[in-house]
């Protein structure tokens, strides 16, 4: 397999784009590679500029639950584009989208569309501060909520991958109002809330943490957060940018039966176009301008192109009952990977819920960012490279999820497991060297 064209494009891109990429997670640095440049994609497959084809488990980092270039989504976008891409004036599509979200997500009664997950979390935090009149926000180590100043503290995803401690450019005054706690440590949350609950506007959490690899909430963790928020008059914000519409129609809140005050959505809701949304109880959401006094706006928010792609995706999810199929395929893949690791004698801790999961290269039980960091990232890098050579594209970081889409066929999964068997064998050999 040669990557000559990708390498040349990368070198040229580095001259005009910082690090050659428009989002740091795309850099191959953590796995000792330069990034692939992709020419096209269809279904479960991506094709790079050198003509190599891969089974793709990144799926644009989550949005493409139906796979690449799903015919229904492509058709919806094409039709919408022909009628104008944005008006800055309301459309019926926005109403249909809002109704769809209210119908699907149990805790949402009103919703506002924005253009990214980052905008959704930023706006939800502002709303929580506006409603409570308080300043502090509690988050969890290794959770990623976009690159919002106040939430980029002990953050997951690219920040974890590249080992960046927060970021320069975030004022102390802003970071000081953020308290970050070990994920799954309800006792520590209770201590913080007992000490300063009266100053806390919100607790924001990924109900399944999917930006430090995939870490599942312990039994009672989410319900405990719900209880503490209610007790101290703080809002509970679920960041369901990854889990929304993915774990179930109604996201993680449906699966775990815990209702937040506000929910942040993104990724799948845009069907591959840039979209985010936040929603929740009517009396809270009504505080947003123009019905209320908390301000947030967007030139392209709710534009017909993005709404069409999102609606087409959500419609398929609702009508075709795809989640059961995703669950069984993902379970099959995870089992195959675990067997491959066993056979190769490589220690791996597997996590999975629905169609997201992670194989941590560690012999410890991973339940928070601290244990996730016990992973052997060099072994993961070797695994990534060996899989790539065998035509499988995994996330170029140990601290990211794998995403299965409805386009992954049984044959794709079998090929992936076969590739993993030989790749893990090679990883074991390299470890011994």
Ligand X SMILES: *Cc1c(COP(=O)(O)O)cnc(C)c1O
Query: Dihedral of CA 114/116/122/125: which sign?
Result: positive
| Binding segment toward ligand X, per CB under 6 A, in 115-123, 255-263, 402-410, 416-424 | 115-123
Compute the least distance from the CB of residue 342 to ligand X, in Å: 30
Catalytic residue, from 144, 183, 256, 278: name it: 144
Q: Which of 358, 433, 348, 355 is nearest to 395 (CA)?
A: 358
Minimum CB distance to ligand X smaller for 197 or for 271: 271
DSSP-derived 3-state class of residue 320: helix
The only residue of 28, 43, 117, 304 in contact with ligand X, by rule CB under 6 A: 117
Catalytic residue, from 48, 239, 368, 412: name it: 239
DSSP 271: B
Interface of this chain with ligand X, residues 222 to 261, rule: CB under 6 A: 239, 241-242
Q: Token digits for 309?
A: 């792609």
388 binds ligand X (CB under 6 A): no
Rounded CA-CA distance 144/152 in Å is 7
Check if the beta carbon of residue 31 is closer than 8 Å to that of residue 41: no
Concerning whether 144 is annotated as a catalytic residue, the answer is yes
Strands 235-239 and 262-266: parallel
Residue nearest ligand X, Cβ-based: 117
The only residue of 6, 27, 107, 121 in contact with ligand X, by rule CB under 6 A: 121
Check if the beta carbon of residue 150 is closer than 8 Å to that of residue 174: yes
Beta strands in 68-209 (DSSP E): 110-114, 136-140, 178-181, 200-205
Minimum CB distance to ligand X smaller for 121 or for 253: 121
First to last CA, the chain: 24
Site string for ligand X, 181-220 (x = CB under 6 A): -------------------------x----x---------
Total residues in contact with ligand X, by rule CB under 6 A: 14
DSSP-derived 3-state class of residue 381: helix
Q: Token digits for 326?
A: 């995703």
Compute the least distance from the CB of residue 239 to ligand X, in Å: 5
Compute the least distance from the CB of residue 110 to ligand X, in Å: 20
Concerning whether 87 is annotated as a catalytic residue, the answer is no
Please state, in angstroms and as integers, the Cα–Cα distance from residue 52 to each residue in 41, 325, 382, 414, following that order: 11, 28, 19, 19
| Binding segment toward ligand X, per CB under 6 A, in 37-45, 114-122, 166-174, 383-391 | 114-122
Compute the least distance from the CB of residue 299 to ligand X, in Å: 17
Minimum CB distance to ligand X smaller for 236 or for 419: 236
Q: Which of 75, 69, 44 is nearest to 407 (CA)?
A: 44
Check if the beta carbon of residue 422 is closer than 8 Å to that of residue 336: no
Site string for ligand X, 275-314 (x = CB under 6 A): -x--------------------------------------
Minimum CB distance to ligand X smaller for 211 or for 375: 211
Compute the least distance from the CB of residue 94 to ligand X, in Å: 19
Ramachandran category for residue 126: left, alpha or beta (phi over 0 → left; psi -120 to 50 → alpha): alpha
Minimum CB distance to ligand X smaller for 56 or for 386: 56
Interface of this chain with ligand X, residues 123 to 182, rule: CB under 6 A: 144-146
The only residue of 116, 178, 263, 362 in contact with ligand X, by rule CB under 6 A: 116
Compute the least distance from the CB of residue 206 to ligand X, in Å: 5
Q: Token digits for 9?
A: 């494009």
Rounded CA-CA distance 217/219 in Å is 6
| Binding segment toward ligand X, per CB under 6 A, in 89-97, 111-119, 254-262, 386-394 | 111-119
Contacts (Cβ under 8 Å, ≥6 apart) of 381: 30, 31, 32
Concerning whether 239 is annotated as a catalytic residue, the answer is yes
Minimum CB distance to ligand X smaller for 121 or for 254: 121
Q: Which of 381, 382, 364 is nearest to 373 (CA)?
A: 364
Minimum CB distance to ligand X smaller for 300 or for 430: 300
266 binds ligand X (CB under 6 A): yes
What is the H or E stretch that residue 280 is in? strand 276-280
Check if the beta carbon of residue 64 is closer than 8 Å to that of residue 43: no
Minimum CB distance to ligand X smaller for 43 or for 146: 146
Residues in the chain: 433
Catalytic residues: 144, 239, 267
Residues within the interface to ligand X (CB under 6 A): 116-118, 121, 144-146, 206, 211, 239, 241-242, 266, 276
């Amino acid at each position: 397999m040669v990557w000559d064209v990708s390498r040349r494009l990368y070198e040229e891109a580095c001259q005009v784009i910082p690090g050659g990429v428009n989002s740091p997670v795309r850099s191959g640095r953590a796995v000792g590679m330069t990034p692939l440049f992709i020419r096209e994609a269809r279904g479960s497959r991506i094709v790079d500029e050198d003509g190599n084809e891969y089974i793709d488990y990144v799926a644009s980092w989550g949005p493409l639950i139906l796979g690449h270039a799903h015919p229904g989504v492509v058709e919806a976008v094409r039709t919408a584009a022909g009628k104008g891409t944005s008006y800055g004036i309301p459309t019926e599509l926005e109403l249909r989208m809002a109704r769809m979200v209210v119908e699907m997500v149990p805790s949402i009664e009103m919703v506002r569309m924005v253009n990214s997950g980052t905008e959704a979390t930023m706006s939800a935090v502002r709303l929580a501060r506006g409603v409570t009149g308080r300043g502090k926000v509690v988050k969890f180590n290794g959770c990623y909520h976009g690159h919002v100043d106040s939430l980029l503290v002990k953050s997951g995803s690219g920040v974890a991958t590249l080992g960046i401690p927060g970021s320069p450019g975030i004022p102390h005054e802003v970071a000081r109002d953020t308290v970050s706690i070990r994920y799954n440590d309800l006792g520590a949350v209770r201590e913080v809330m007992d000490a300063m609950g009266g100053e806390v506007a919100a607790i924001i959490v990924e109900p399944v943490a999917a930006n430090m690899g995939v870490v599942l909430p312990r039994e009672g963790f989410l319900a405990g957060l719900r209880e503490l928020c209610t007790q101290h008059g703080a809002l509970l914000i679920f960041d369901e940018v990854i889990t929304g519409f993915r774990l179930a129609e109604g996201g993680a809140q449906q699966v775990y039966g815990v209702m937040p005050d506000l929910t942040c959505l993104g990724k799948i809701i845009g069907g591959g176009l840039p979209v985010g949304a936040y929603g929740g109880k009517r009396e809270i959401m009504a505080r947003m301008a123009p019905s209320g006094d908390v301000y947030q706006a967007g030139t392209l928010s709710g534009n017909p192109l993005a709404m069409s792609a999102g609606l087409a995706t959500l419609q398929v999810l609702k009508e075709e009952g795809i989640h059961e199929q995703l669950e069984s395929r993902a379970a099959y893949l995870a089992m195959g990977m675990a067997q491959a690791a066993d056979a190769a004698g490589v220690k791996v801790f597997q996590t999975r819920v629905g169609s997201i999961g992670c194989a941590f290269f560690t012999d410890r039980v991973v339940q928070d960012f601290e244990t996730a960091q016990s992973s052997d990232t060099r072994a993961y890098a070797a695994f990534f490279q060996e899989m790539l050579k065998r035509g499988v594209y995994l996330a170029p970081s140990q601290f990211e999820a794998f995403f299965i889409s409805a386009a992954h066929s049984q044959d794709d999964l079998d090929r992936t497991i076969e590739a993993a068997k030989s790749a893990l064998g090679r990883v074991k050999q390299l470890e011994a060297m």
